[in-house]
Amino acid sequence: MATDQPVVPLAEGIEHDQSEWEKATAAVLRKTRRLAEDAPDSDVWSLLTTTTLDGLSITPLGTADLVADLPETGLPGEAPYTRGSGTADPELTGWDVRGWFTDPDTTPEDLATELENGANSLWLTVGERGIAADRLATLLEPVFLDLAPVVLDAPEDPVAAAEAFLAVCRDKGTDPHALTNLGAGGHDLEAVVRVATLAKEAGVRGVVVDASALHDRGASEVQELAWSMMVAVTYLRALEAAGFTTDEAAAQLEFRYAATDEQFPTIAKLRAARTLWNRVGELSGIGEAARAQRQHAVTSRPMMARYDSYTNMLRTTVAGFAAGVGGAEAVTVLPFDEPLGLPTPFSRRIARNTSSLLIHESHVAKVADPAGGAYAVEKFTDDLAMAAWELFAELDGLDELEGVADLDAAAERLLPLVEAVRDDRALQIARRQRPITGVSEFPNPAETLPERRPYPVAPEVHRYAGEFEQMRDEPVAAPVFLATMGPIAAHTARATFAINLLAAGGIGIGAAGATADVAEAVDRYLEAGAPPVVCLAGTDQAYGAWGADLVAALRENGASHVVVAGKTDIGQDASAAMGLDALAFLRGLREELQR
């Protein structure tokens, strides 16, 4: 078949070219009126290409030309480690399922239950935000520390936590597991060096490069990657200055990234992170084996919602899947009730079972780098790596990693960029272009939030659903009257849209039901007590036939603010349609209701 289009062989003797895909896709888009009848089929590319918060483009279809000029990614377990720091797992043991504990009242039985029912390692918050350091001996009494890695997180005093843990190991007469990490981090480089020295003597890791902390503040994928490289290089320099060799310093680091329910960006981010770290290692003189990045992926806190919290199970399942496919060695699936307070035994069980199901029933861990070779993923991985490297160079402000980094100065440069991304994301959420199920979409206004004990110190997280949830926390007493026009079948679509939209803002609804004309709709309105705010929901045909008369009649009978579901202009005060800034609309409507 003679053609200038790329040929895609589907089966022996059958070939299709790109123009056929464009034609089929264009036909669908014309039916939905997203593509004009006289527009060329090739316009589907621009219509369906998405742009990330970092300004990177993702095409709707991966093609071979996307990867024609990309560098080789090697094999799994080989530099540049894009395809994974390890090779395939023939025993199907999967990734390290890491259980998270921050409850000050955690018991030894809690840890034993976690390890006996699917978890491989423990992640313990120690100090003011969690478990007291002097309780570690009691808590870890039933744990075989040579078999189960323990990762500490003690931001207030990492040295004291590390010393307390190593004392427990000595008292038990055992060496800690080689994958144990004493968990130093933050901007206190003296503490990082001290803990790394203790870790080196004990034969374990001592430092965590926690990029998820920046993600919690609203950072994008590129920003999270660039910051992780900045922090890691700073730690390398500090450790080398303290007498560590480059390989010894690199061996002390474990990287923590957030995994979100946007699965392809998460997969690409983890792959790009390994590529970036390999490049840092090359420039820093780190041996090839020591350049293999060890990753711990934790499901995103900002993506979690307090309302309809059970939907968090869906989010964390997708995020856990993406973390495993992306090649993380350790994965923490956060309990679904994490936004509400301290998790319960039930929510911890669901969290660890999520990984167990992905590994042992879905067999996600059976293949190393299952996304490898997918044109769109490979291209996006490279785009993320290139953009993150450019931002890292700006943060570091130096050429070829020479000189002394200043994390505080780098943070000052980065945080305004994070705030800009946070604002862009918030606007997309407000316009419901990034829907949050159970909060901005399909809310349950009758829901009573489950009660959980509060955290010792509330985590600093910029939750994506936060602004909608604030309105839900303070529902408006006065309802909006929904003037549904025509039979139920005719007004259901727009009525459902209006009900969901208003419920997302903590606003109740009183619906008219089926109505045949202005008089019947007004009668229903008066029976409801003539609320001051009314929303019309009907078809365009009904709006044209008697919508303006209904608006006028409602005003005559006490309505002070009339909204129409749709873009028709029939003399209303406001319109509610797809694409509106839902937050601004709801805030304005709440003000009307509270007058």
Domain of residue 45: give its range.
Answer: 24-53
State the Cα–Cα distance between residues 279 and 80, nearest whole angstrom: 8
> Would 151 be classed as within a structural domain?
yes
Domain count, the chain: 3
- Does 107 lie in the same domain as 49? no
For the CA atoms of 222, 228, 233, 238, the dihedral, rounded to the nearest 10 degrees, stands at: 150
- Give the tens place of pLDDT for each residue, 454-511: 999 988 999 999 999 999 999 988 899 999 999 999 999 999 999 999 999 999 999 8
* Cα distance between the two ends of the chain: 71
> Would 437 be classed as within a structural domain?
no
Residue 247, pLDDT score: 97
Q: Answer whether residue 296 shows pLDDT above 80.
A: yes
Q: Answer whether residue 2 shows pLDDT above 50.
A: no
Residue 402, pLDDT score: 45
> Would 454 be classed as within a structural domain?
no
- Does 122 lie in the same domain as 49? no
Question: Which residue type is seen at 94?
Answer: G
Q: Answer whether residue 399 shows pLDDT above 60.
A: no
- Does 43 lie in the same domain as 174? no
Of 376, 408, 440, the residue that ends a domain is 408
For residue 557, give both structure tokens: 């009978």
What residue has token string 């990614």? 73
> Would 47 be classed as within a structural domain?
yes
CB-count exposure of residue 556 (10 Å: 0-12, 13-18, 19+): exposed
Q: What is the DSSP string of 323-335?
A: HHHHT-SEEE---
- Does 314 lie in the same domain as 246? yes
- Does 130 lie in the same domain as 209? yes
> Would 363 be classed as within a structural domain?
yes
> Would 488 be classed as within a structural domain?
yes
Are the CB atoms for 151 and 212 separated by under 8 Å? no
Residue 7, pLDDT score: 55
Residue 8, pLDDT score: 53
- Does 304 lie in the same domain as 252? yes
Helix H or strand E encompassing 222: helix 221-241
For residue 170, give both structure tokens: 């000595």
- Give the tens place of pLDDT for each residue, 16-72: 788 999 999 999 999 988 899 999 999 999 999 999 999 999 999 988 899 989 988
Average pLDDT over residues 318-336: 97
Q: Answer whether residue 92 shows pLDDT above 50.
A: no
State the Cα–Cα distance between residues 448 and 445, nearest whole angstrom: 9
- Does 242 lie in the same domain as 357? yes
> Would 371 be classed as within a structural domain?
yes
Residue 259, pLDDT score: 98
Helix H or strand E encompassing 520: helix 518-527
* Mean pLDDT over each residue of the chain, to the nearest integer: 92
- Does 126 lie in the same domain as 223? yes
- Does 483 lie in the same domain as 391? no
- Give the tens place of pLDDT for each residue, 28-44: 999 988 899 999 999 99
Q: Answer whether residue 272 shows pLDDT above 60.
A: yes
- Does 354 lie in the same domain as 293? yes
Q: Answer whether residue 337 shows pLDDT above 80.
A: yes
Q: Answer whether residue 3 shows pLDDT above 80.
A: no
For residue 90, give both structure tokens: 């023939």
- Give the tens place of pLDDT for each residue, 110-169: 999 999 999 999 999 999 999 999 999 999 999 999 999 999 999 999 999 999 999 999
- Give the tens place of pLDDT for each residue, 176-204: 999 999 999 999 999 999 999 999 999 99
Average pLDDT over residues 207-231: 97
Residue 12, pLDDT score: 59
Residue 403, pLDDT score: 41
Residue 404, pLDDT score: 44
Residues 6+ apart with CB under 8 A from 564: 535, 536, 543, 547, 551, 570, 572, 574, 575, 576
Give the domain CATH number at 381: 3.20.20.240
Please state, in angstroms and as integers, the Cα–Cα distance from residue 587 to each residue in 184, 316, 346, 568, following that order: 43, 30, 37, 22
- Give the tens place of pLDDT for each residue, 401-436: 444 457 888 888 999 999 999 999 999 999 989 999
State the Cα–Cα distance between residues 107 and 456, nearest whole angstrom: 16
> Would 149 be classed as within a structural domain?
yes
Q: Answer whether residue 364 shows pLDDT above 70.
A: yes
State the Cα–Cα distance between residues 353 and 450, nearest whole angstrom: 21
- Does 285 lie in the same domain as 388? yes
The alpha-carbon radius of gyration of the chain (Å, integer) is: 28
Average pLDDT over residues 254-281: 97
What is the percent of the chain where pLDDT is above 90? 85
Give the domain CATH number at 495: 3.40.50.280
Of 408, 426, 444, the residue that ends a domain is 408
Q: CA-based diameter of the chain, in Å?
A: 87
Instruction: Please choose, from the candidates 440, 475, 430, 464, the residue with its C-alpha nearest in 3D space to the C-alpha of residue 583.
Output: 430
- Does 118 lie in the same domain as 37? no
